[in-house]
Amino acid sequence: MGAELSEDMTPELAELLTGNCYCLAVRRASRRMVRLYDAALAERGLTISQLAMLAWVKGLRTPTVQKIADYMEMDQSAASRGIRPLEREGLITSAPHPKDKRKSVLALTDEGATRLAEGAAAWAHAQRQVEAEMSPAGGLATLMTEINALAQTAEAED
Amino acid sequence: MGAELSEDMTPELAELLTGNCYCLAVRRASRRMVRLYDAALAERGLTISQLAMLAWVKGLRTPTVQKIADYMEMDQSAASRGIRPLEREGLITSAPHPKDKRKSVLALTDEGATRLAEGAAAWAHAQRQVEAEMSPAGGLATLMTEINALAQTAEAED
DNA sequence: TCCCGTTAGATGCATATGCATCGGATCAGA
DNA sequence: TCTGATCCGATGCATATGCATCTAACGGGA
């Protein structure tokens, strides 16, 4: 693990490379988690993002692209594009909002509801797998609270 | 926060949407961290990934695409593509390995070394910002250990 | 020396993300 | 009722990622 770091690295760069960068650490963990969950969902033809979007479409009273982006804390454009494959595959439909023509109200198709249910089962399997392999110091619940806190770190400001 | 979840959500789906999915939580945190660090590095014309790759090029004795991918725990193809912008901008060079013609040995240019040093300073600023805003239960060090553990969760197996 | 299994890097393909921006629609005021 | 500030969704552009696959190159054993 120690790796073959050259001697003329500043302490700062050594820190960055040895797992002490919050950003790189979380991103590395993210890549791993996504691979694990996506693999679990692959048989159902879904990614974890797509499963989440289907779930929000079902869970929100009047789901729109913007709302989904807000709840998932991602850019509206990313949500917009993420939804396209789901429409293409006929899992969700899009209809103009009756009152506000700017909005499109999304809805699950029957096929979408089926895939969502199947995906949720596969998702639960992945969840259990992570729980079985992880034994964090303060407990998984605490870890989740802290990761979520990381997700709320202020955007910049200075 | 509670959101407007419809009543007919299975407990499973409710879990998935309310921040209890390890994958979605870490990914959300990852998005936020990347935005924060990328913003801090934007003035230097670098992303956090690019900074890390420059650092590995400097830190490894004989840096190659494969080695960087291994150390960053990402796919070789992702590393390969990530390095291209850095070459295009003249921050690193690529030369054929003397013994093994399959490999390309990467190296920092003077400009690359300069940008790396500048970027490291901006990175440290972002690190301090996260530290100032986060007060996790078990301490940041413990949190990092646990996030890194998440990054080592087995790839599948079942 | 020849052949096969392995390794390195590059590419095609598809999703994931964010920023800037555009055009259309809405809405709150003047 | 007109108008300027907002909001909504879509796009262009660029990076980020992973998987499968292809070609070239290596390496060891027959």
Q: Is the four-CA dihedral B117, B67, B145, B32 of positive or negative sign? A: positive
pLDDT tens, position by position, A67-96: 999 999 999 999 999 999 999 999 999 999
B8, A113 Cβ separation under 8 angstroms: no
Question: What does the buried/exposed string (b/e) look like for A36-64 if buried means 16 or more CB atoms within 10 Å of the residue's CB?
Answer: bbbebbeebebbbbbbbbbbbbbbbeebb
Confidence (pLDDT) at B19:
80
Tokens of B116: 């790396």
* Inter-chain touch A60–B10, beta carbons under 8 Å: no
Confidence (pLDDT) at A126:
93
CA distance A63 to A69: 10
pLDDT tens, position by position, A31-67: 988 999 999 999 999 999 999 999 999 999 999 999 9
What proportions of chain B, in percent to the nearest 5, are helix, strand and coil?
Answer: 60, 10, 30
Radius of gyration of chain B (CA): 20
Mean pLDDT of chain A: 88
Tokens of B84: 């291209």
Q: Please compute, for residue A13, the number of CA atoms within 13 A of its CA located in the half-sphere on the CB side.
A: 22
- Residue B82 dihedral angles phi and psi, to the nearest 5°: -65, -30
* Inter-chain touch A28–B151, beta carbons under 8 Å: yes
pLDDT tens, position by position, B75-99: 999 999 999 999 999 999 999 999 9
Contacts of A148 in chain B (CB under 8 A): 19, 25, 28-29
Tokens of B54: 């420059």
CA distance B13 to B69: 35
* Inter-chain touch A29–B155, beta carbons under 8 Å: no
Tell me how crowded residue B107 is: count the other CB atoms within 10 A of its CB: 14
The letter for the amino acid at B17 is L
What proportions of chain A, in percent to the nearest 5, are helix, strand and coil?
Answer: 60, 10, 30
Residues, CB < 7 Å to strand D: A 27, 31, 34-35, 39, 64-67, 76-77, 80-81, 83, 94, 100, 102-104; B 47-50, 74-75, 77-78, 81-82, 85, 88, 99-102
Q: What is the mean pLDDT of residues A105-110?
A: 97
- A78 CA: nearest nucleotide by C1': C17
Tokens of A40: 């679990």
Q: Can you list the residues of chain B whose pLDDT is less than 70?
A: 1-4, 135, 137-141, 144, 148-158
Residue A156: closest C-alpha in chain B:
B36
Q: Which of A46, A81, A79 is nearest to A64 (CA)?
A: A79
B68, B79 Cβ separation under 8 angstroms: yes
CA distance B5 to B14: 8
pLDDT tens, position by position, B58-74: 999 999 999 999 999 99
